[in-house]
Amino acid sequence: MAGCSSLTTTQPLGKPASALDTRKLAGIWLTPENEPMFVHHVVDNRLRVAGVDWDDDEPQLRKMEVLVTTDDDRMYFNVLPPQPEEESDAPDEYTIYRVTPSEGDMLVLRILNIETFAKAVENGQLSGTVDRNENNVHVKLTPKESELDDFVSPDKAAEQFILDGAIVLRRLK
């Protein structure tokens, strides 16, 4: 989906990855725009990621927390964007990426297909809300216990994840 459509979830997908697997992701990664991302292993399955955005020739620090999880030998990044202090009591909302390690120290990230999950909420297969307007769809999943883990299936990857336009990260260090 193009534009400003979004899909977030209040529960991460998968079970916590091992600290050993998560530590291997620490380092400097290059985005498709050739911007460096600095990845630091915090503890257990948590990473802290930092990069720089440019706003009118002024650098702006961009940082986020990532929970690394696995499910049936698949890896996921459950990304928490930074929250303003005034919203610190708001519940966490994750954006989920399926991560496929590739040869040559590359990671291929695929995002959830918004329309597939919007229909699942509208059909009662997943808990959440869908807000549609003329140009965008905003989905907020509020799954209970293992509802999201049970719904996401490797047999349905082609419809549950956007396979075209993957984000490819290359390790620099």
Give the model confidence (pLDDT) of 50-107 as tens digits: 998 888 889 888 899 999 999 888 999 999 987 665 556 667 899 999 998 776 789 9
Please state, for a pLDDT cut of 90, what percent of the chain lies above it: 66
Report pLDDT for 2.
46
pTM of the model: 0.88
Tell whether the model's pLDDT for residue 19 goes beyond 60.
yes
How far apart CA 6 and CA 1 sit, in angstroms, is 9
Encoded tokens for 83: 């929250």
Single-letter amino acid, residue 11: Q
User: Would you mind telling me the total number of residues written for the chain in this entry?
Assistant: 173
Chain centroid to CA 44: 18
Report pLDDT for 124.
95
Mean pLDDT over the full length of the chain: 90
Confidence of residue 148 (pLDDT cuts 50, 70, 90): very high
Encoded tokens for 147: 């509802």
